[in-house]
């Protein structure tokens, strides 16, 4: 339904929820990341695959999409997914660039796996492999542009992966969910038809 003189919200920020859904789905389908997050022992990669219920329990517990640092005493390994540094594209002002940060945080007692493997770097390798040159809702491929070690506290530290993405017109086609679009129209009509 069209509302005369009003456009539905069109914004590159609407791409975030689509991109998060794609990224979280990739994580939930990666057995190695699941094990590295769920199991806390050095032999995490040798443990059994997670059940669907165990994998889903990682969301909002080990895999965080809200940038609030909250340490759960029972959780030792985290991935925080953060969208940041939005800016107009240098070559085309109709496009928008942004960075996606993956903060991989592990309790210091969980870093060491077997054979000199370190948990945060194993998780980083899985994320890079999953996302390297992958398309989300943006025009261009995701490109790894950097990474750096981070310290959250005296007990939690890890590594940040930084990917760059470019968003254009295909992620600005109104509400990503038709139900959101219907709700917007309904709320608009309530506000302006009274």
Tell me which range, 69-73, 132-136, 180-184, is most confidently predicted by mean pLDDT.
132-136
The string of pLDDT tens digits covering residues 65-111 is 887 767 777 778 999 999 998 888 777 777 778 899 999 999 999 99
Mean pLDDT score, 37-49: 95
Q: Which pLDDT band, with edges at 50, 70 and 90, does 147 fall under?
A: very high
For residues 77 and 103, the answer to whether their CB atoms sit within 8 Å is no
Q: In what order do the strands lie in the sheet with 96-107?
A: 63-64, 77-88, 96-107, 156-167, 143-151
For residues 50 and 35, the answer to whether their CB atoms sit within 8 Å is yes
Mean pLDDT score, 140-149: 88
Predicted pLDDT at 173: 53
For residues 158 and 121, the answer to whether their CB atoms sit within 8 Å is no
Predicted pLDDT at 98: 86
Q: Which pLDDT band, with edges at 50, 70 and 90, does 49 fall under?
A: very high
Domains and CATH numbers, the chain: 12-184 (3.30.2000)
């Amino acid at each position: 339904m069209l509302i005369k003189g009003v456009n539905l919200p069109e914004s590159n920020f609407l791409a975030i929820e689509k991109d998060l859904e794609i990224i979280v789905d990739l994580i939930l389908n990666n057995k190695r990341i699941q094990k590295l997050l769920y199991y806390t022992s050095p032999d995490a990669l040798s443990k059994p695959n997670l059940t669907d219920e165990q994998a889903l329990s990682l969301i909002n517990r080990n895999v965080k999409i809200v940038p609030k640092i909250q340490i759960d005493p029972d959780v030792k390994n985290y991935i925080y997914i953060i969208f940041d540094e939005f800016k107009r594209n240098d070559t085309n002002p109709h496009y928008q660039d942004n960075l996606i940060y993956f903060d991989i945080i592990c309790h210091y007692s969980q870093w060491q796996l077997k054979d000199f493997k370190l948990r945060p770097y194993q998780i980083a390798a899985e994320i890079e492999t999953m996302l390297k040159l992958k398309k989300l809702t943006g025009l261009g491929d995701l490109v790894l542009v950097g990474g750096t070690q981070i310290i959250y506290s005296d007990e939690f530290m890890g590594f940040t992966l930084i990917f760059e993405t470019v968003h254009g017109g295909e992620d600005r086609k109104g509400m990503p969910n038709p139900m959101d679009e219907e709700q917007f129209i309904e709320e608009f009509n309530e506000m302006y038809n009274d």
